[in-house]
Every structure is written in C-alpha cells, then in structure tokens.
Structure 1
Amino acid sequence: MSTVLAYLEDTYKLIDKAHVEYIANDERGYYCVLDSTVFYPQGGGQPSDVGTIEAKGVHLTIAFVSFVDGVARHYGDFSSVSLEKGEEVTLYVDEAPRMQNAKAHTAGHLMYTIVESLDKNLIAVKGYHFPDGSYVEFQGSPSFENTETFIAEINTKISEALNEATSVEASLIMPEELAARWSNIPNNLPLGKPLRVVTIGNLHPTPCGGTHLKSLQELKSVVVTKAKRQKGNLKISYKFE
C-alpha cells in the first residue's frame, strides 16, 4: 500500500480522518502508518508537520513524520492505546509550524524562480526551506559579474511580486507541458506521468511536492541576504516573514 497524501490538495486543511494500516518501529522509534495523511513528511528541504492523532479518545503526540517507500511514518508513543488495522482516527496538524513552513517554502520558490529567470545559466538543485537559515543552491556558472548588484536585482523583483499580491497555484501537468513552458527543467523527470508543479504569478512553473501559501499577500517580506560559491554551487540565502 501507499499513503494518500491529502496535504497536497490543501495546505490549509489541518484536520482529517484516516484509517490505521499498522504500527511498526525502526531506528527512530515506533510509528503509525495510515491509509491517508494531512501530515507533511520531512523532505524536499521542508520540515515535517507535527501534531496529534486522536484514537479512542486519546490524543497521541506526533513529533516527526517521514516518507519511506511511498508510506508516511507518523512517529510517536503508541503504547497508551491499542490500534487495529482499519480503525478510524482523527489527525490534527499544528497550525503555527505548518504555516511557517509553507511561508518558508513559498518564499524559497519565489526567490529561486526569479533567480532562474534572471540568469538562465543557473538551475536550482537543492533547497533548505527551514525557518532558520533558509537557502537554495544552484548549479551552473553565473553570467553576472557583480554579486551585490545581482542580489539587489533579485530583491527588486521579489518586492515587485509581493506588492502585486501574486497568486500561488499548485497543479498537475505532464512533464512534456512543463518542458514546453520552461526549458531549464531537471532531466530526470519521469515522462508520461502527471507532475505536480507550483506556479507563482507569471513566473515559470517548478516541480514541487511541498506545502505552499495561496498568495504572496501572506508574506510580509522576502529578502536575499547573501550569495556565495560552495562546493561548486552557488548558495543563495534568504530571510522571510
């Protein structure tokens, strides 16, 4: 079986029902696997959601969620209640960290799509969208000569997008359609299979499985703070609120 990832449909959905598949443990501890989840599993540079699972009137704390072989593992102490396969439970995602992570991820996408649009020699290959120390790494040889000038140009474009309260949309498209809309896409995308992409206003769509805001209006600011070469890549750091 594989876990249905309900959070992909709505970042703002924090409560949902699901059914127990099984309880198991690994090196991290005990975890519960469900048939669906609104909890985001850590990955793609984004932290996992936290919250609780209510089962038989007992609230079980979920401190971490991971995604392994198509299954979401919800880690917590399940010793206080006996969970059987098929039993219905209620999931509660903590709102504050969910929305903070969505802000960080959306801010990162805004920044790196603008960077890619300004300098087509740069392709984003790694993101760290944690609230503390957020950054995106790019492959390629930058075409700009002055780093400070380039940072200023990025921040100007970011401010313009924020002032326009630009929409943020997630949708499923075919890789071939993505390639037609933007030439600099990863070369390892599976062909013939729908791909989830996030599009911010008129910027190019980018593949993503994370949680995002509905509009840039929910961001007060996004600012690139520095850019430096690191292990052959260009690391661009940003702050947001």
Structure 2
Amino acid sequence: MEELYLKDCYLKEFEATVESVKDDKFVVLDRTAFYPKSGGQPHDTGVIVRDDEEFPVVFVGKFDGTVSHEVSKVGLKEGDRVKGIIDWDRRQLFMKYHTACHILSAIIHDETGAKISGNQLAENKTRVDFNLENFDREQIKAYESKVNRIIDMNIPVDISLLTREEAFSIPSVVKLKDAFPPELEEIRVISIEDVDRQACGGTHVSNTGEIPHIEIFKAENKGKNNRRVYFRFRDE
C-alpha cells in the first residue's frame, strides 16, 4: 500500500482501487491519503466515493503495516475504482497542532533537557508529557511566548525520507534508534530549521506561520518525573 500522506500532507483527494473489504466495512485500498490513528495523532475522516455514491470514513487504523478504512455504509467491493476525499478542516487542524507540539517539545527539551514521553492531539487541545523532576509552572507558562515567537518567524517545515545511516547521524533521531525495526530502510524526518529535527510519521504544516498562536492553559504533575502541559490555539 502506498501511504500518500507521508510525502504530501496537503493532498485532499486521491484515486485508488479497493483491494479488500472485510465484514462489509473495513476497506483496504492500494493507496491512501487518509492518516491512520498513530503517534498521538487522531485518524482522518472523510468519504470514499464510487461513481456518485459516498461511503463515509469514520475510522482509519494501521494493522500489521496495512491502513484500514472503516466505512459506515455497506457496498464497496474488491476491484472498485474509487476516489478518497479527506475532511480537510480536521486534517489541517491536526497538522497545525502536531507541528506546534514539535516546537513546544523542542523548547522544553532545550530549556530543561527533559525527554518527551508522549503527546495526544485533540480538536480543542493538545497535551505534551515529559520527564522532569522539578516542575516550575511559571517557567512552563513562559514557554508559550517562545513558541509563539517561532510561529511568527515563518520558518519552513521540511519533510525528508532519509536512509537509516543518514537519519542516525542526527542526534535527536539516534536516541530513538532501538524504536526502528531493522527492516525499515528509510526514516521520515521532520525538520524545523534551528528549532527541531526528529523522526515522525505524522502530518505537518509546511511553514510555522500557518499555526495560530498557542496558549498553555494547564500544567500538572502525573507522578514521579512525569509532567504534563495542555495547550490550545488562541481565538485571535
């Protein structure tokens, strides 16, 4: 299966062939731009269209390396030629949140040395978890202005597919070396010049200037050496 979102996050429509349908609702295509739930980023929604008939996509997941689309309408069959249409408003929102998450995570790491232990994107907020013993709420609030300063700098966001050797020459990537299966020949790297460079399979904007200003509205302890901050986009 060709995963089109890996190379072009802005692809809204695509043509494909149905490879299989299970239980009348789990559809596998030969190529897809629908992002499957992964890495803290929610799945895309949208429709699969055959002729003039629409099949709403309500969930997208990746199982044993294959992207599966759950549709809420019966009727698709193996061999059907179809068009996929992404719910662009939802996708674009998560692109903005995901890139903002990279910026905030990079700032926290640069300021404290803390490692990011997880993140979760949602439609109205995003959270970032990180390993840090001391928890200075005022300092964390100050990160907000630093993120917004980077947003205003209109820095290009680059997506590259690198060989393992190239990727592992990047300090922020080599730390995750054990997370990549040995059969993986190419590693996708997201680069924000002078800010962040890390391996990531998610969707991102092409320039930080596309991101609204953020506000950090909650910070909390989640146990020993586990801190969490929540942010959302400002209404401006």
TM-score (structure 1 length as normaliser): 0.86
What's the counterpart of residue 154 of structure 2?
165
Deviations 1:10-49 (A, max 9, x none): 1111100111111003xxx821111110101112111111
Confirm whether residue 146 of structure 1 aligns to residue 146 of structure 2. Answer: no
Q: CA deviation at 1:131?
A: 2.2
Structure 2 residue aligned with 1:124:
116
**How far is the alpha carbon of 1:128 from its aligned partner?**
0.6
Match of 1:212 among 189, 204, 211: 204
Match of 1:14 among 3, 12, 16: 12
Amino acid aligned to 1:139? N
TM-score by length of 2: 0.88
Q: Residue by residue, what CA displacement relative to the aligned partner does 1:62-118 show, whole Å, maximum 9, x if unpaired?
A: 111111111111111342x35233x32111111111111111111111111111121
Indicate how the Cα distance of structure 1 residues 204 and 71 shifts in structure 2: closer, same or farther if over 3 A, else same. same
In structure 2, the residue matched to 1:65 is: 60
Other-structure match for 1:186:
176
- Say which of 8, 26, 35 aligns to 1:31: 26
Query: Is 2:73 the partner of 1:84?
Result: no
Runs (4+) off by over 6 Å: none
Distance 1:150 1:133, change over 3 A: closer
Inter-CA distance 138–176: structure 2 relative to 1 (3 Å threshold): farther
1:140-163 Cα deviation digits (max 9, x unpaired): 435xx63312431x2232122112
- Are the structure 2 counterparts of residues 78 and 158 from structure 1 closer, same or farther at C-alpha, using a change threshold of 3 Å? same
**In the alignment, which residue of structure 2 is the partner of 1:75?**
70
8 Å contact from structure 1 (residues 17, 89) kept in 2: yes
What is the CA–CA distance in structure 1 between the aligned matches of 2:107 and 2:221, rounded to whole Å? 19
Instruction: State the Cα deviation string for residues 189-227 of structure 1 (Å, max 9, x = none).
Output: 336732112112212311211111011111120232333
Task: Classify 1:235/1:22 alpha carbon distance in 2 versus 1 (closer, same or farther; 3 Å).
Answer: same
Give the Cα–Cα distance (whole angstroms) in 2 for the partners of residues 179 and 10 of structure 1. Answer: 23
Report if aligned partners of 1:165, 1:216 keep a CA contact under 8 Å in 2.
yes
Which sections of structure 2, spanning at least 5 residues, go unmatched? none
Q: Distance in 2 between matches of 1:179 and 1:82?
A: 42
Gaps of 5+ in 1: none
